[in-house]
Amino acid sequence: RSVLYTTMALVEGRTLKDWMGDHPSPDLQSVQDIVTGIGKGLLAMHRRQIVHQDLRPENVLLDAEGHVTLIDFGAARVAGVEEGRAVAMAEAPVGTLQYAAPEAFLGEVGRERSDLFSLGVLTYEMLTGRLPYGLDVTRTQTRREQWRLVYRPAGSDGRPVPDWIDGALKTATAINPEKRHGDIGEFLHDLTHPNPA
C-alpha cells in the first residue's frame, strides 16, 4: 500500500524495423500476416476510443511465433482525456513524420483514419522499401499542397505487387481521410481479398 509500481509484459522478440532489414523483399503472405496482427491491435484500441498516433516499424514487436505487439503509447490520444484539457494546437504533428497522416501537418487531432494512413504507409514500405509519397507529405503545410501530392504505385519499381494490393494501399494512404477505408477492418479485408473495384 505504500508503493506505486507498474508491471509490464516482457516480449521476447524484435522490432518490425529489424525484421524489415532482414527481409527487404518479403513474400506477400508474411506481410499480410504481420499487417493483420497490427491491424487487429489497432482495432482493439479504436474500440476503446484510443488512437495510437505513432505507428512505425520501431513501435511494433514480433515474437518468434510471429505474434505482433504494439508498443509506445506516449503519443496516444484517449477519448475523454484530451477533451478535458484546454485546447492547444500542436506546433508539429504527433508521432514520426514519415508515417504521420497528412491531416496531422495541418494541426488536426488524430483519428482512427489517421492510424489507418500510418498502417497503409507501413504496409507499402514493407512491400516496396519506400514510402508512397516519399517525404513530400512531411513538407506540406496546406491542403492545397497536399492535394498536389501524387501516389506512386507500389509496383512502379518492378516489385511484384498485385494491382488489387496496390488498390488497397492507395485507398488506405489517400491524402483525404474521407477517401480512405471506413476503418482498419475494411483495409485488412482488401489486403487479403481481391477487391473487384
Copy the grid coordinates of residue 94: 504527433
Per the annotation, the verdict on 54 as an active-site residue is yes
Distance, CA of 50 to CA of 125 (rounded, Å): 24
User: Which one of 18, 27, 54, 163 is the catalytic residue?
Assistant: 54
61 pairs with which residues across the strands?
A: 15, 69
Distances (CA, A) of 129 to 82, 88, 100, 180: 35, 36, 17, 22
DSSP symbols for 141-173:
-SHHHHHT--PPPTTTTS----HHHHHHHHHHT
Which residue numbers are catalytic?
A: 54
